[in-house]
Structure 1
Amino acid sequence: MLTIIDKYILKRYLGTFSVMLLLFAPIGIVIDVSEKVNKMLENKIPFMDIAFYYYNFTIYFINSLFPIFLFLSVIWFTSKLANNTEIIAILSSGISFTRFLRPYIIGATIVSVFVLLMGFFIVPAASEGYNNFRYTYLKGNGKELMRGENTNVYRQINDHDFIFVNSFNEESKTAFNFTLEHFEKEKLTYKITASRIKWDPKKKIYILYDYTKRTLGDLNDVIEKSPEKNVAFKFELADLTPVVYIAETLTLGKLYDFIEKERKRGSGNINTYLVVLYKKYSIPVSAFILTIIAVSVSSMKRRGGMGMNLAIGIAIAFSFVFFDKIFGTLAEKSTFSPLLAVWFPNIVFGILAVYLLRNAKR
């Protein structure tokens, strides 16, 4: 049962956080517009595409900087409570500091559940629209760019077939120096090569140029050659070279399936995809950690007043984001464990939260 004090603090918690989002989202949009307006005018981008982009940008922006917004909002209104001696009055009435934290934890739970659901279902669609616009209009001059592994791609596409292509052109749906090797019981049974393979989206087939198929026999090999041959493979060239931001655009179920599929193929980007997956769970947890730190830092009066609390809060918030970005990049570019990299900021700041909470109770 929530008391009047619980409802009062919870209202301030959610209200200040909402106002913080409403204040900073337009600022982010204005800064983004000022950076990209010349490129938009040069490419004559339709107004509706721009409007849809900024709808996606707002969701993407809020999700990316959610820890900072939450942390600063808690610092802000808790510092006001402390400066108005409201916290002293609450604790003097016999309420323990742990009990005083209850509405904050309830607020963090509401926010974390909201962020979790957004990360599962809403953010992926916004991320797709945001990145497609950037790479199509702002970097590709109207042509979609930014494919991931577009040179020397070697992948396992199922339990029996392995594919290699030397390079891939997304615009023409063409790969060069194509090789397919088929194995049965770990024994190579046939091998297909072509100087060029092109996907025909209308007929749903592949056109292989300088086609050669070598079927291995016990005594003699059978060789089949053709200048051009149509083949109906069970894979798409686009699957071989997914866009680098593909994991961000998938809902939770599809992301699990995609990662499993890429793992079987031996994708070199598997750590990047795992970082995206683990962050969907770690970011909501950070709401609790940052809330406890913010309350512990701002619940007492300081000589510098609210300004000092905000300065400390901004330093801690940006340190959290810095750790998050550094270790995320480390996992993507090295053999460092993606799970440890994603959760390391929560572990470090969780220990800091416990330490600050113990001091605040005193």
Structure 2
Amino acid sequence: MKIIDKYILKRYLVTFSVMLIMFIPIGITIDVSEKVNKMIEKKIPLTDILVYYGDFTVYFANLLFPIFLFLSIIWFTSKLANNTEIIAILSSGISFSRFLRPFIYGAVIVSIFALLMGFFLVPKASKGFNDFRYQNLKGNSQTRETSDIFRQIKKEGNIEENIYVSNYNYLSQTGFNFTYEKFQDNVLIEKVNAKRIHYNEETKTYALYEYNKRTIGQTNDQIMSIEKNEVAYNFEPDDLTPVIYVAETMTIGELNKFINKERARGNGNINTYLVVFYKKFSLPISAFILTIIAVAVSSMKRRGGMGINLAIGIVIAFVFIFFDKVFGTLAEKSSIPPFIAVWLPNFVFGILAAYLLRNAKR
């Protein structure tokens, strides 16, 4: 690696790191100003708050990663252009493609880091971040509940088992109006009703209150009614928790297994899980596309100086985020395939990057 490559790569990584260090405290300050009253009111321990803001830092950095990266490249490349360093580099016989090489090295490093964070670190931070908010800061309990949950928990041969819960609270792991139905050859053979269901972490069983069980026979039915019964069912509490919440808190391996299990069950919300899964791969790839666009936009010395380049960069970055969010939502709520919806922004901006790079070379 030549001196010029080391110089540009160092500026690339240092500027990106400084951008994160500058903006994350701003995000924390804004969040503290919004939530400090509730924290004081509920007397939340300082250690819990510090852990929350550790998770907040990872969550916030991952969420705005494309903007931070894009603006940092625009910033230091514009400085190179204004100091006529780029003109000197290109005048020495180095081609624009060769000049772009250290930027690609930087994109590779950032992409690998973003990929590993998305696979392992971000899910853990997302769980801590959401748990703290829903447990301590959200006034409306509906934000941490799911309602009208239907699940097929087993289908083997001619046996099929289904459950229904009118609503389920993730934090208390308690549900209401529970129904379990067992079918054989599409004929109901067993049905259980309970007013309330609670998951026991230690025994891995469910406590059913006001338990009623009907076993249907050929000539007569057997009915059992008791105040409470402990039952081990073939489903996990995660099967009943909010869709986005669960997907965001799983590592790549856990999410892949979960998607396969839900697909086998015929879950109608499978697209929501797939959007989160594909974004773990598409986000790091966007680092290359945004790097090329940023270099192409800011490598020219403009009359308006860095301000013009930053303005263009901010517009492009926010349009990219807008596309990413809109198509992700469309995949969840419509018939658009999740893979196409998640990767379409990268494809569109990839074409834009190729066009801008071609003009920049000229």
Q: TM-score, normalised by structure 1?
A: 0.91
Task: Return closer, same or farther for 1:9/1:174 CA change in 2, 3 Å cut-off.
Answer: closer
Question: What residue number does 2:343 align with?
Answer: 343
Instruction: Give 1:200 shift.
Output: 5.8
2:25 is the alignment partner of 1:29: no
Q: Distance in 2 between matches of 1:54 and 1:345?
A: 30
Task: Return closer, same or farther for 1:255/1:340 CA change in 2, 3 Å cut-off.
Answer: same
Question: What residue number does 2:151 align with?
Answer: 155
Instruction: Give 1:189 shift.
Output: 5.4
Q: In terms of mean alpha carbon deviation, does 32-41 or 102-111 score higher?
A: 32-41
Question: What residue number does 2:330 align with?
Answer: 330
3-state SS in 2 of match to 1:234: coil
Q: Distance in 2 between matches of 1:347 and 1:148?
A: 36
Instruction: Give 1:226 shift.
Output: 2.3
4+ runs deviating over 6 angstroms: none
Q: Distance in 2 between matches of 1:304 and 1:174?
A: 60
Q: Distance in 1 between matches of 2:250 and 2:236?
A: 19
Query: 5 Å matches for 1:172-183?
Result: 173-183=173-183
Question: What residue number does 2:18 align with?
Answer: 19
1:289 alignment partner AA:
I
Task: Return closer, same or farther for 1:253/1:239 CA change in 2, 3 Å cut-off.
Answer: same
Q: Distance in 2 between matches of 1:267 and 1:116?
A: 27
How far does the alpha carbon of each residue in 1:233-269 deviate from its partner, in whole angstroms, 9 at most, with x for none? Answer: 3235623421341111111101111122223334343
1:181 alignment partner AA:
E
Q: Distance in 2 between matches of 1:167 and 1:4?
A: 62
Question: What residue number does 2:87 align with?
Answer: 88
Does the CA contact (< 8 Å) of 2:178 and 2:197 recur in 1?
no
Query: 5 Å matches for 1:6-85?
Result: 6-85=5-84
Question: What residue number does 2:210 align with?
Answer: 209
Task: Return closer, same or farther for 1:129/1:145 CA change in 2, 3 Å cut-off.
Answer: farther
Identity of counterpart residues, as a percentage? Answer: 62
How far does the alpha carbon of each residue in 1:51-96 deviate from its partner, in whole angstroms, 9 at most, with x for none? Answer: 1111111111110001011001111111111111111111111111
3-state SS in 1 of match to 2:154: coil
Gaps of 5+ in 2: none
Instruction: Give 1:208 shift.
Output: 5.1
Question: What residue number does 1:98 align with?
Answer: 97
Question: What residue number does 1:291 align with?
Answer: 291
Task: Return closer, same or farther for 1:53/1:170 CA change in 2, 3 Å cut-off.
Answer: closer
3-state SS in 2 of match to 1:335: coil
How far does the alpha carbon of each residue in 1:77-131 deviate from its partner, in whole angstroms, 9 at most, with x for none? Answer: 1111111111111111111111111100010000000000000011111111111
2:252 is the alignment partner of 1:233: no
Instruction: Give 1:180 shift.
Output: 2.2
1:214 alignment partner AA:
T
1:11 alignment partner AA:
K
2:143 is the alignment partner of 1:146: yes
RMSD: 2.1
Matched residue pairs, number?
Answer: 355
Does the CA contact (< 8 Å) of 2:169 and 2:241 recur in 1?
no
Does the CA contact (< 8 Å) of 1:14 and 1:107 recur in 2?
yes
Q: Distance in 1 between matches of 2:85 and 2:27?
A: 34
Task: Return closer, same or farther for 1:305/1:29 CA change in 2, 3 Å cut-off.
Answer: same
Q: Distance in 1 between matches of 2:174 and 2:26?
A: 42
Q: Distance in 2 between matches of 1:319 and 1:93?
A: 36
Q: Distance in 1 between matches of 2:210 and 2:89?
A: 79
Gaps of 5+ in 1: none
Question: What residue number does 2:321 align with?
Answer: 321
Q: Distance in 2 between matches of 1:12 and 1:132?
A: 37
How far does the alpha carbon of each residue in 1:171-196 deviate from its partner, in whole angstroms, 9 at most, with x for none? Answer: 76554443322234x43351213142
Q: Distance in 2 between matches of 1:254 and 1:123?
A: 13
Instruction: Give 1:164 shift.
Output: 1.9
Q: Distance in 1 between matches of 2:112 and 2:64?
A: 16
1:209 alignment partner AA:
E
Q: In terms of mean alpha carbon deviation, does 186-195 or 329-338 score higher?
A: 186-195
Instruction: Give 1:346 shift.
Output: 0.6
Instruction: Give 1:336 shift.
Output: 2.4
2:104 is the alignment partner of 1:108: no
1:139 alignment partner AA:
K
2:354 is the alignment partner of 1:354: yes
Does the CA contact (< 8 Å) of 2:77 and 2:295 recur in 1?
yes
Task: Return closer, same or farther for 1:281/1:94 CA change in 2, 3 Å cut-off.
Answer: same
3-state SS in 2 of match to 1:199: strand
1:153 alignment partner AA:
I
Q: TM-score, normalised by structure 2?
A: 0.91
Question: What residue number does 1:254 align with?
Answer: 254
How far does the alpha carbon of each residue in 1:197-220 deviate from its partner, in whole angstroms, 9 at most, with x for none? Answer: 423626534335251323354xx3
Q: Distance in 2 between matches of 1:27 and 1:229?
A: 51
